[in-house]
A and B are shown apart, each in its own frame.
Chain A
Amino acid sequence: MSDEYDNNKSYQAQSSEVMDGSAGSINPDIDYVRPAEVGEQDLYHGHSFIEKWIFCQDAKVIGVQYFLTAVFTGIVGLILSWLMRLQLGFPGLAGFMTAEHYYQFVTMHGMIMVVYFLTALFLGGFGNYLIPLMVGARDMVFPYVNMLSFWMFFVAVAVLMASFFVPGGPTGAGWTLYPPQTILEGTPGSGMGILLMLISLSLFVIGFTMGGLNYMITILQARTRGMTLMRMPLTVWGIFTATVLAMLAFPALLVSAIMMTLDKVLQTSFFMPTILKAGEVLEYGGGSPILFQHLFWFFGHPEVYIVALPAFGIVSDLISVHARKNIFGYRMMVWAIVGIGGLSFFVWAHHMYVSGMNPWFGFFFATTTLIIAVPTAMKVYNWILTLWRGNIRINTVMLWCLGFIVTFVNGGITGIFLGNVSVDVPLSDTYFVIAHFHMVMGIAPLMVIMGAVYHWFPLVAGKMLHEGLGKWHFWITFLGAYSIYFPMHYLGFIGVPRRYFEMYDSPYMTSAVGMNEFISIAAFIVGAAQFILVFNIIKTLKTGKKAEKNPWKANSLEWYTSTVPPEHGNFGERLPVVHRWPYDFSVPGAKDDFIPQTTAPSEVIHTEVEKT
């Protein structure tokens, strides 16, 4: 009986958080939080420089390592995009630019930006840094495996970059690597280049699996006392769901990479039908090129959400903190993230409406694709409803968030065009597609990354980035990127196909010469503007204003570490205990306009807080 009584009491305590000033005497049990069920994790602290900064087991250092390596690949991807735009805007200006080079740049730009930049940055970078801090853990649950994860990623990047220097150069098969052309002569880099690409992708998946296990299990098993799932910041929800997607989707990429490697090296025919090349019938037969496309997009579509969901989560937190208002409809936001994640496994063939698969698939995949628009739209409504009646700081972080909303809604709407099967027919494989996916999964997540950098830099480095430079960085990037991709949709309407090295003199294409020049110039400027951030970071590290603790007055645990920047172990002697969700901003009756997650109900007794 006594056990039952205890349980009952604790239940009552947790449910009585809607406090009323007139409640009279204080019940000491309102602060009750279930005790920890397992002891604390032992941490291995590095002793030498190498153990502290290179082969380091601290998730925060690993996060920064992931971040910097991903940014390096991102800069390579950026330079490649400049070279492409140079050719498209001003054909023939760069003497070295052959069609082979152009296609190699296109391919490497795409693969780098999607996999090695965005995925690694969101999950490896932000995931590693923020998960343990936000759920109140001292570190990831498997720190050693976590370290291996980064170094595996590092080797994958090295192998990828090495492909620039092998005979024949990197693969120019397009980032989708569609067989048969990927491994046949006639495609640049069909020798060593494609092999290194496939090896690098395989290494990436292996490394990512090590990291992904850490993110999932840390979130499920290592949350601090009181941090229920429904009290987690949406950043953690986004990263968690994205990681689950990645663990299910990346194997499809891995097997397709292995099968294609076998087709290339051992002349198996997983994806290779009978092929006639230069009058000779090759030693292939019976394979299916469309099988590869199914495997690729079974990975590739969830991959879009692997990038988007962490961005959704992070931007929700940034908007809430800087609008000084709780995120509107938190529960809906969580279920939307989980729902989008689940649905993302049932939409892959909307990339393949005109691939030659059975056309009856079109009905199914158009329907599932448009269903996904509903939870996505709900998220958008909730972001703008969070701004509604808020107390909005229009600082650099908020500007990036607003830029995200504009670009994401724009890109989301064009997604409805492409998802709607028969509308996709005229638009697929045109510049409309390029404009759509750059807007929705290039620029929009990039806006979130930038906002997150300005938001969390004071935590990571203990110094405030310069606001003025930040605003210049934002406006040039936002206006520039928008003027690149908004008009580009119309290139698609007139029917210009993608992956064209030259347009020649088709009448409807020559009408777009001026637009192509304009887009290229905008691309050069936007790319260059990113170095404002690099300059800002270097300048801030040298001479920047020291950040006060919790400069944004946020509630989530990462701002309540024992030191800033947080040291190994994060929280000093005692782990924090969580009493509420992280969105108690502007609570009526509270002294400040924010109540940290660690604040016990008895400390804010006269407030009208929602039960969480």
Chain B
Amino acid sequence: MHAGIIFLLVIIGSVLFHIFTPWYWTDIASNWKGMDDTITLTFWVGGGVFVAVCLFMIYCVFKYQHKEDRRAEYKPEDKKLEKILTWATTLGVCALLAPGLIIWNQYVNVPKNAIEVDVMAWQWGWQYRLPGADGKLGTTQVRNIADNNPFGINPDDPFGKDDIMVESDVINLENNRPVKILLRSVDVLHNWYVPQFRAKMDAVPGTVTFYWFEPNKVGEYEVLCAEYCGVGHYAMRGGVEVQDKADYEVWLSEQETFEQLSARYEKLNVDGNKLAKK
């Protein structure tokens, strides 16, 4: 008897916790509301099944407690019932899977007008690069990476010259404009994750991965690394600042291009050599 009551309290407690929890999603700041909605749907269907199964179990515990003079029913199979349950479950599963796949289809198809942002990760930090006036990022190679070329841009690639180098672990994004995040890593796995944007993807050394989202709320957000990358994993933070178009343009104009950066380093070198000669 006690057992049934305690189990019942556990189920009631779970439902109440879910309703009154102070811990829930951060306010969404991107276009992926569909993910939240699918989670809500799954909560209704899955939570309903959980509660129903547990209540049925608790009912049995109350109703069919052992009595010496009673016998259980002897009924090894009930084909019809099993068939109904199988189809009902299949239907429920399809109802959950369908929206999941539809949203995934959006997730893997990047809109044409998305601006590319090259995110480079290393142990333990982030760097960003944007395409310049030509709208194209220059090709890169890990072996080219040096102080005067933090992204390893191929010096012969004409598309690379005007690439915009963001020398900060904070990247600014334009509000209401889709962003295609290109992820690269020079050492181990990382994952560029902003909880408010919902989306994430691993950065894998040796390849370029991507995902996209459209920020829709002006503000500052913290970037977390969401794939374990060694002892500094928990401290590998960065930032995003979502701005309106006008503010964003101002910020953009203040950034250095790859050509300018190379020139600055060359000058440093020349000056350094002059100093050495003197």
A290 to B10, Cβ gap below 8 A?
no
> Of B6, B53, B76, B206, which one neighbours A273 at CB under 8 angstroms?
B206
Query: Nearest 10 pairs between A and B by C-beta?
Result: A273-B206, A495-B195, A356-B209, A181-B188, A420-B100, A325-B72, A413-B46, A387-B60, A186-B230, A422-B103
| One of A410, A427, A499, A511 near B228 (C-beta < 8 A) | A499
The smallest C-beta distance from B27 to any residue of chain A, in angstroms, reads 10
A274 in contact with B142 given A363-B104, A425-B198 (CB within 8 Å): yes
Query: A281 contacts which chain B residues (CB < 8 A)?
Result: 142-143
A328 within 8 A of B: yes
Minimal Cβ-Cβ distance residue in A for B122: A276
- Given A413-B49, A426-B199, A512 and B23 contact (CB-CB distance below 8 Å): yes
Smallest Cβ-Cβ distance to B193: which chain A residue: A497
Hey, what's the 0/1 contact readout for A292-330 against B, CB within 8 Å counting as 1?
A: 000000000000000000000000000000011110111
Q: Is the CB of A486 within 8 A of B234?
A: no
A252 and B226 CA atoms in complex are apart in Å by 26
Contacts A331-B77, A490-B21 known; A181 to B189 CB distance under 8 Å? yes
When the two chains form their complex, are residues A425 and B202 in contact, meaning their CB atoms are under 8 A apart? no
Decide if B42 touches A420 in the complex (CB within 8 Å).
yes
Is the beta-carbon distance between B3 and A325 smaller than 8 angstroms? Answer: no
Hey, which chain A residues are within 8 Å of B107, CB to CB? 359, 422, 425
Q: Hey, which chain A residues are within 8 Å of B204, CB to CB? A: 289-290, 355-356
Output the nearest chain A residue to B90 by Cβ-Cβ distance.
A374
Find out whether the CB atom of B123 lies under 8 angstroms from the CB atom of A186.
yes
Q: Is the CB of A511 within 8 A of B22?
A: yes
B60 x A275 contact (CB < 8 A): no
Q: Considering the chains assembled together, what is the distance between the CA atoms of A427 and B35 in angstroms?
A: 10
Q: A187-B230, A276-B145, A493-B23 are in contact. Are A508 and B195 (CB under 8 A)?
A: yes
For A426, list chain B residues within 8 Å (CB): 32, 35-36, 39, 195, 198-200
Could you show 15 A-B contacts with beta carbons less than 8 Å apart? A172-B231, A180-B187, A275-B186, A287-B206, A326-B74, A332-B77, A356-B204, A366-B104, A378-B82, A391-B66, A394-B3, A422-B107, A490-B24, A500-B234, A501-B233
Within residues 57 to 90 of chain B, which ones have a CB less than 8 A from any CB in chain A?
57, 60-61, 64-67, 70-78, 81-82, 85-86, 89-90
Chain B residue, CB-CB nearest to A271: B206
Contacting B at CB under 8 A, from A211-247, are none
- Starting from the known contacts A421-B104, A425-B200, 10 additional A-B residue pairs (CB-CB under 8 Å) come to A186-B230, A186-B232, A187-B188, A273-B205, A370-B97, A416-B93, A420-B100, A426-B36, A490-B23, A494-B25
A494 touches B26 (CB 8 A): yes
B229 within 8 A of partner (CB): yes
B61-A392 in contact (CB<8A): yes
**With a CB–CB cut-off of 8 A, which chain B residues contact A262?**
none
**Docked CA distance A331–B234 (Å):** 49
Q: Is B50 located at the chain interface by the 8 A CB criterion? A: yes
Q: Whole-angstrom distance from the CB of B136 to the nearest CB of chain A? A: 22
Residues of A within 8 A of B93 (CB): 370-371, 373-374, 416
B191 within 8 A of A: yes
Q: Which of A103, A405, A422, A587 contacts B35 (CB 8 A)?
A: A422
User: Which of B74, B93, B103 has the most CB atoms of chain A within a 10 A radius of its CB?
Assistant: B74
Q: A378 and B191: CB pair below 8 A?
A: no
Q: Is the CB of A178 within 8 A of B64?
A: no
> Within the complex, which residue of A181, A276, A423 is in contact with B38, where a contact is CB–CB below 8 Å?
A423
Residue of B nearest to A512 (CB): B23
Q: Which residues of A contact B202 (CB under 8 A)?
A: 354-356
Q: Once the chains bind, are A390 and B23 in contact (CB under 8 Å)?
A: no
Most chain A CB within 10 A, of B183, B186, B188, B230, is at B230
A35 to B251, CA, bound (A): 88
- Chain B contacts for A184, CB-based, 8 A: 187-188, 230
Q: In the complex, what distance in Å separates the CA atom of A187 from the CA atom of B227? A: 13
A77 at the A/B interface (Cβ < 8 Å)? no
Q: Is B170 interfacial (CB-CB < 8 Å)?
A: no
Asked if B3 contacts A399 (CB within 8 A), the reply is yes
A255 near B: Cβ within 8 Å? Answer: no
Contact among B54, B142, B207 for A356, CB-based, below 8 A: B207
Q: Which residues of A contact B6 (CB under 8 A)?
A: 475, 479
A289 with B23: in contact, given A356-B202, A392-B66, A426-B35 (CB under 8 Å)? no
Interchain CB contact under 8 A, A608 and B232: no
Instruction: State in angstroms the CA–CA spacing of A356 and B11 once bound together.
Output: 38
Contact residues of A between 514 and 530, Cβ < 8 Å to B: 515
A residues within 8 A CB of B108?
A: 359-360, 362
Give the one of A100, A186, A502 with max B CB within 10 A. A186
The residue in chain B whose Cβ has the minimal distance to the Cβ of A181 is B188
Tell me which residues across on chain B come within 8 A of A413, comparing CB atoms. Answer: 46-47, 49-50
Residues of B within 8 A of A289 (CB): 189, 204-206
What per-residue 1/0 map shows which CB atoms of A353-389 lie under 8 Å from chain B? 0111001101100110011011001101100110111
Contact of B65 among A276, A277, A392, A504 (CB under 8 A): A392
Q: Does B159 contact A (CB under 8 A)?
A: no
* A354 with B200: CB separation less than 8 A: yes
Tell me if A178 and B189 are in contact (CB < 8 A): yes
Q: Given the interface contacts A187-B231, A497-B193, does A326 sit within 8 Å of B76 by beta carbon?
A: yes
Contact of A428 among B96, B196, B200 (CB under 8 A): B200
Q: Does A174 contact B (CB under 8 A)?
A: yes
Q: Which residues of B contact A103 (CB under 8 A)?
A: 228, 230-231, 233
A79, B77: Cα distance in complex, Å: 45
